[in-house]
Amino acid sequence: MKKIILILSLAFIASCNQGQNAAADSSDDPIKNGDIYKNYVQAYNDYAYCKMERPQITTDFMDKKITKEEFAAALERNNKTCTIKKDIFNKYYQLLEAEYDKAAVEHKIMEE
């Protein structure tokens, strides 16, 4: 649990400083420049976009743009797609967490 809080805190601090030190942060942080972080961000964006499609499907059904059968099929397809994208996002999260743990050990940051 403490690891998750540490990662979220680091992500929050990084996002707060992003506008101020964008050039300095991008060149100094090897984790943010790594492929795992970039893939993690892409996976998160894909998953978030997938979740945002559901209200549009419902709106189309309520506006009678699609039939009940099309609505059910679209929801099922969206659910399967989002589940896969969520799994991918979670795997990249685990890889990123392992990379932060490795960096913490290298910099001798230990939990108490």
Question: What is the span of the domain harbouring residue 80?
Answer: 30-106
- pLDDT tens per residue, range 17-41: 555 544 444 567 777 888 888 999 9
Residue 19 in any domain: the answer is no
Residue 64 in any domain: the answer is yes
What is the number of structural domains in the chain? 1
Residue 112 in any domain: the answer is no
Q: Which sign does the torsion angle of CA 51, 36, 100, 32 carry?
A: negative
The CA angle 39-54-61, to the nearest 5 degrees, is: 155
Residue 62 in any domain: the answer is yes
Q: Which sign does the torsion angle of CA 24, 46, 12, 32 carry?
A: negative
Tell whether pTM > 0.85: no
User: Residue 73: CA atoms inside 13 Å, Cβ hemisphere, count?
Assistant: 5
pLDDT-based confidence at residue 66 (cuts at 50, 70, 90): very high
